[in-house]
Amino acid sequence: MSLGLKRNTSAYANWQDDPLTGEITQAIVFLPGGNSNAVFPVQALDSARGKISEGLTNQTVQKRGRETAPPIPSAIFRKVVQSLGLVEMTDELRLRINQDVVRWVVAHEVGHTLGLRHQFAGALGSTIEATELQDVIKTYAETGEVDSKKLPDSSVMDYTTVDYLSGAAIRLGQDALPYDIAAVRWGYFNEDWRSTDFGLFCSDEDADTSTLVDCKRFQGPGPQIEARIGNWKTELQYFYLTLAREFQDFRSPSFGGEGKPPEEVPVSVTSVVEYYSNLLQSSVSMLTPDPDFVETYRSFKFVTDYNADEYLAKVLEYQDTHLRNAGGWAALFDSVIRVTQTGGSKAMPLTKDLQVNFESYISSENYKKGKTMYGREYEFTDDDINYLVEFSQKFFPMFEEQLFSSFKAKLLGTFFADIDPQTLTTKKTQLSADN
């Protein structure tokens, strides 16, 4: 294994095999670092800690050698931050996540040297239910523990939003993941993998070229219909935190130079609305009759087995099952409906909720001064906080107005021309699954 401090690139592995037998004769794993991209706790822990948190904010992806690992920097860390939800970052947690990500990367690269390919269907074999994910992450954040029965993935050869959980399992000395065990046993000991149930497989060519919607990089654990519906609800609920943290990032002096006061932070209602509408659209589009899923696709082993009607029936059955597991259409549209929920209902409209949460969050003493999620120090003045309160009072009413019209346009216009706008139920019988 080679550790470097100068080069800015992803981790990668090279290996040499015997052309006659395919035997791997030697292999080396590279974990390069660099001033802006260091990921490995080399030498002194203190300096590594600084480099790690700095490195996480710089995006440098460079393909080298025969294979590259995903970059550990901000691409992954942003996903990590999103997945953390309400969890507040501490120095201890930041270091733990970084070290667990490194554990996962090393295992991933060693996997390549053993001959394993990327396994982007690995997350479909997770044993964490979509509804449990936030609790699993919370336990990890509070204690560093992960339950050995709650697998974030069936392989370290995947890229997901929670790879640090796979790293944690390594730190805790838990078993290798089931796909990896089966693949190595098949490759090295000729054991029949069909006798073990390690789930489905898809790799780079599927992620790059096919229409399989659940074979993409950096997805959450579990079946993607459930994961995306869960993610859509969580991300919208935590939007006030995302926004509040954005102002912290800009206020920290190393973020884009001097550190910007809140009034200089570019926040566009339109682009935020676009982001959340697209998130909703991506959940809903998985429930239209078009998408292909790994499970249904792989159930036809040979071209000659393929039957279009049977295939469509399998897709619909798959959608139906996972939509039900995710709470049905009601769960998907809950946030849409809550945007405008007023009058007789006791519940506040979602955007009002977000505004109240935002204002209470930015008014707390903890918010005024501290470290960003990435570990940089910042401090707001009283004027900054006053500005943020005024900003909130203007921002959220506009957000509500634009959000609802955008949702309506995306849902009714693009996907469900046949939907009943009064009840938000679809007339398509095959997609009528509900609680």
Q: What are phi and psi of 28, to 5 degrees?
A: -140, 140
> Considering only 50-58, 69-77, 141-149, 256-264, which stretch makes contact with Zn ion by CB under 5 A?
69-77
Work out how close the CB of 70 gets to Zn ion at its nearest, in angstroms, rounded to a whole number.
7
Nearer to Zn ion, 217 or 324 (CB): 217
> Considering only 54-62, 66-74, 145-153, 354-362, which stretch makes contact with Zn ion by CB under 5 A?
66-74
Enumerate residues 6+ apart whose C-beta is below 8 A from 327.
229, 435
Work out how close the CB of 31 gets to Zn ion at its nearest, in angstroms, rounded to a whole number.
13
Q: Which helix (H) or strand (E) holds 379?
A: strand 377-379
Work out how close the CB of 251 gets to Zn ion at its nearest, in angstroms, rounded to a whole number.
36
Nearer to Zn ion, 101 or 362 (CB): 101
Considering just the CA atoms, what is the radius of gyration of the chain in Å?
Answer: 23
Q: What angle do CA 301, 109, 20 make, to 5 degrees?
A: 65
Neighbour-count burial for 200-239, b at 16+ CB within 10 Å, e otherwise: bbbeeebbeeeebbbbbebbbbbbbbbbbbbbbbbbbbbb
Nearer to Zn ion, 38 or 69 (CB): 69
> Considering only 61-69, 211-219, 251-259, 266-274, which stretch makes contact with Zn ion by CB under 5 A?
61-69
Nearer to Zn ion, 138 or 216 (CB): 216
Work out how close the CB of 69 gets to Zn ion at its nearest, in angstroms, rounded to a whole number.
5
Work out how close the CB of 248 gets to Zn ion at its nearest, in angstroms, rounded to a whole number.
33
Work out how close the CB of 399 gets to Zn ion at its nearest, in angstroms, rounded to a whole number.
39
CB 269 within 8 A of CB 401: no
Give the residue from 169, 188, 59, 184 showing the smallest Cα distance to 119.
184
> Considering only 67-75, 248-256, 314-322, 327-335, which stretch makes contact with Zn ion by CB under 5 A?
67-75
Nearer to Zn ion, 69 or 272 (CB): 69
Residue 342 in tokens: 């007023």
What is residue 68's DSSP assignment?
Answer: B
Count of residues of this chain found to bind Zn ion when the rule CB under 5 A is applied: 1
Nearer to Zn ion, 111 or 349 (CB): 111
Residues near Zn ion, by CB under 5 A:
69
